[in-house]
Amino acid sequence: MSYGEILIKGDTLADKIALKILSEVEDSDEAKISYYSYLDRGSDERQYNSPNVALPVCSVTRSKYGSYPEYHTSDDNLDVISADGLFTSYQLYQNIINALENNYYYKATQCCEPHMSKHGLYPDISYKNSALFTVDMMNFLAYTDGSMDLIDINNIINSKLPISKLIGIAKQLESKGLIVKI
């Protein structure tokens, strides 16, 4: 059974973020995501992405338009969806919106790598995966030159790192004055 479907034009911020969040779903679950080209469009994305409008949207759906018999009929109602399907879709959209709202370009405020323990960002006690967090944090900081957004940096340093964790790292570094949003 398909977990979800995405129709992308390929070059928009919405595409980039939806693809990142969906890749996390595919990595963490036994989810099957179907990807479609913009050339296979047929819903509202046609209008939003049309010339002279060009709103950067993509279509992320549980089931692609026209792919189920109830589509655009009187049987297309709440009886054809499950509570679980609705909830997982809600979570997916929530993650996409969170990534959109936190996808900034960051710039380091210091030359060279900062002394992280001075800022309380190095663990005093070793715990499971504490070294991985430190590596992810230092790698993120290494790319905060203002030329890439959060998703671009994530794709370079560790594409398996959930974007929500990288958002947390960015917020910690920003709260310590080590990076700024540009």
The pLDDT value recorded for residue 1 is: 35
Conformation bin of residue 84: beta by default, left when phi > 0, alpha when psi is -120 to 50: alpha
Structural domain spans, the chain: 4-101, 105-181
What is the token pair recorded at 131? Answer: 């070294």
* 3 state DSSP class of 121: coil
Residue that is written with structure tokens 């913009």 in the block: 38
What is the rounded CA–CA span in Å between residue 62 and residue 76?
Answer: 14
Give me the helix-helix angle, 13-28 and 150-157, nearest 10°: 40
For residue 15, report the phi and psi dihedrals to the nearest 5 degrees: -60, -50
Nearest CA to 133 out of 109, 168, 176, 96 is that of: 168
**Run of H or E including 43:** none
Q: Which superfamily does CATH assign the domain made up of 4-101 to?
A: Zn peptidases (3.40.630.10)
Tell me which residue has tokens 């310590």: 176
Q: pTM of the entire structure?
A: 0.83
pLDDT recorded at residue 175: 96
- Using 50 as the pLDDT threshold, list the residues of the chain that sit under it: 1-2
For residue 29, what pLDDT is reported?
63
pLDDT at 98: 96
In the chain, the amino acid numbered 147 is: S
Question: Whole-angstrom Cα distance, residue 20 to residue 26?
Answer: 10
What is the residue type of 153? I
